[in-house]
Structure 1
Amino acid sequence: MLLVDVDGVLNPFGAPGPGFRRYRCTVDGVGYTVHLNSRHGPRLLELALRTGAELAWATTWEHHANEWISPRVGLPELPVVPLGPDGGSELGEMFKTRHVGAYVGDRPFVWFDDQVRWEDEKYLRECQGLSDFLLVPVEPNRGLTSEHLAAARDWLTLSGFSQGP
């Protein structure tokens, strides 16, 4: 699986670089400005195709990502990791981590997120019992880069999970 966050990953917090476009959107009555790069979608789709991985959203945008983000970056509607309430932390992990662990089950996965840290990895290994995953921390002011995508491709390919050509 390839799990993708929105804010800090596809929507960097810093000054957007070349290729980013500014959008204004409204989610549940709240207005947001996002900066998105239309190349991200095709690059994520290519990675999924080459590795046989399934793309899914792992974002607080939840299903709103399919409405507001997918069409602007060139992605189809994707499955969404359901995020329940913040149940607190056991090992210092962020609130999304327990939901990601429950969602992926025994499937190997790569997770692109700007908030993953070693506490998240420890929680996933110790509390969820998962062993085959790669957390890809994305610098939130810069967002997703070719280096992040290459790290995911290499891990999926070298770990033997790749089912693509």
Structure 2
Amino acid sequence: MTKRPLVLLDVDGVLNPARRHTLRLRRYECVLDGQVYSVLLNARHGAELAALARDTGAELAWATTWEHHANEHIAPRLGLPALPVVAVNGDPGSRAGEHFKTRHVAEYVAGRPFVWFDDSLGAHDWQYLKDHPAVGEFLLVEVDPRTGLTDGHLARARDWLGGAGAPGAGLRPLPP
């Protein structure tokens, strides 16, 4: 049985770029635990991510410090359903220079192939995932937080996932 691949999504820096409002980005105010946050979202991203998942047989999931708040504040504004959540909060720090979310992702994927869109990934994350016994094939897509998710990022993921659903596809982890 083939394991369905995952597409892991960060919010800040990926779906919510760190720049001013543009014609493609709409500003929203979100209240989380009494704190008001302003986010910029591109409504097209929802349809593009849904198409990526549908066309490649992948499952979308949140890998963000927003955790379940992403289903309340981000998903509906992008036209996405509630997604599974990788619990990443509560364990600050690094063991080998990796981002604090990386250990949680390694446990969550449980051998499933995955693509991870994040703006804070690097060589330490790639090495940690490559060496982790619960991690199979993966692709890290580092997103520039100033621009956020682009068509190029989605195309790279689509190309890589093209073989993820087929038995014996021979996917190889690629460094960022």
- The number of aligned residues is 161
Is residue 108 of structure 2 the alignment partner of residue 113 of structure 1?
no
Q: Are 2:108 and 1:103 aligned?
A: yes
Q: Partner of 1:161 in structure 2?
A: 164
Alignment deviations for residues 110-134 of structure 1 (CA, whole Å, 9 cap, x no partner):
0000001111010111134524000
- Equivalent of 2:78 in 60, 73, 81: 73
Q: Give the aligned partner of residue 40 of structure 2.
A: 35
Out of 131, 150, 153, the residue aligned to residue 126 of structure 1 is 131
Corresponding residue SS for 1:47: helix
Partner of 1:8: 13
Matches of 1:151 and 1:128 in 2, distance apart? Answer: 25
1:18-97 paired onto structure 2 within 5 Å: 18-97=23-102
CA RMSD of superposed structures (Å): 1.3
Q: Structure 1 residue runs of 4+, over 3 Å off?
A: none
d(CA) in 2 for partners of 1:96, 1:67: 21
With structure 1 as the length reference, what TM-score do the two structures score? 0.93
Tell me the percent identity: 58
TM-score by length of 2: 0.88
Unpaired runs of 5+ residues, structure 1, are none
Aligned equivalents of 1:128, 1:114: Cα separation in 2: 24
Letter in 1 for 2:62: W
